[in-house]
């Protein structure tokens, strides 16, 4: 029995044009691809016919495949002398559990490489018109998870998150949005702090809600946003309307599609 290799590959936030050249090359030369739920269909469509695809994605409260089983699938595939791509949304090492899989591979003496991807926070903020840092507004960024395993309560020292010159980005925070916003206010962050929620970032289905910390949860509920949603809190959100470029791109694409369709009417 031979030994293949596993590539832990970040696929970015959803737009296939944001894939790295290396990620695309590995996807197109793989024997098998194990992919997460958040990997967009447009990206999956770039995998050649004949490549084995295994969906191992997780959804909050509904784990499709347990992590230990994913680890074993990677190990078994490599031991069968296969070139394995473990395709993850965003970046493998930022809330992607890539390091857990890497440790399991190391323990099993399986060769692996890690291919970084554009993390969802960076892609989401750029496409939403929100710079993560801006002179005079934000000099630091904090990435946090808004969801813990088994739906445990968030164990966060909220008092450390009240720096008005810092940007807060919460991954997987939709289900706990009320708790996040109220906890930050209780810890001393001003209720009027600009805040945003972005659904399906970087894709044609992107939606964003721009509000304040006090009103964000209600605004998101009214807009009926659905996961995946990224939460961004800080003064930089005040630039969202002025720096919004992607909404116009989507609108132009819709116009172009209508023009194309009319040509065949």
- Which residues does the annotation mark as catalytic? 36, 58
- Chain mean position to CA 167: 17
H or E element, residue 98:
helix 98-107
- For tokens 């289905």, name the residue: 205
For residue 142, CA distances in Å to 83, 124, 161 come to: 35, 15, 8
161 DSSP 8-state letter:
G
CA distances from residue 210 to 51, 86, 175, 187, 215 in whole angstroms, order as listed = 41, 34, 18, 22, 10
Structure tokens at 182: 């109220």
Give how far the C-alpha of residue 166 lies from the chain's centroid of Cα atoms, to the nearest Å.
20
Say how far residue 7 (Cα) sits from the centre of its chain. Answer: 19
Beta strands 58-59; 62-63: pairing state? antiparallel
**Partner residues linked to 170 by β-bridges:** 144, 231
Helix (H, G, I), strand (E, B) or coil at 194: strand
């Amino acid at each position: 029995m031979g030994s293949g290799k596993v590539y832990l590959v970040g696929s970015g936030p959803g737009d296939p044009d944001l894939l790295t050249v290396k990620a695309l090359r590995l996807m197109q030369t793989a024997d098998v691809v194990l992919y997460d739920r958040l990997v967009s269909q447009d990206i999956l469509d770039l995998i050649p016919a004949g490549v084995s695809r295994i969906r191992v994605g997780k959804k909050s409260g509904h784990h499709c495949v347990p992590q230990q089983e994913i680890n074993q699938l990677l190990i078994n595939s490599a031991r069968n002398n296969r070139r394995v791509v473990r395709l993850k949304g965003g970046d493998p090492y930022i809330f992607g559990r890539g390091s857990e899989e890497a440790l399991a591979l190391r323990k099993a003496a399986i060769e692996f490489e890690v291919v970084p991807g554009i993390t969802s926070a960076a892609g989401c903020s750029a496409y939403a018109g929100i710079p993560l840092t801006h002179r005079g507004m934000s000099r630091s960024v904090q990435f946090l998870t808004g969801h813990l395993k088994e739906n445990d309560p968030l164990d966060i020292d909220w008092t450390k998150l009240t720096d008005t010159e810092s940007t807060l980005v919460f991954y997987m925070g939709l289900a706990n949005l009320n708790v996040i916003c109220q906890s930050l206010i209780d810890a001393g962050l001003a209720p009027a702090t600009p805040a945003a929620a972005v659904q399906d970032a970087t894709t044609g289905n992107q939606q964003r809600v721009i509000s304040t910390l006090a009103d964000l949860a209600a605004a998101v509920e009214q807009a009926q946003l659905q996961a995946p949603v990224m939460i961004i809190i800080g003064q930089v959100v005040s630039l969202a309307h002025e720096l919004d470029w992607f909404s116009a791109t989507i609108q132009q694409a819709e116009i172009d599609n209508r023009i194309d369709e009319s040509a065949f009417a």
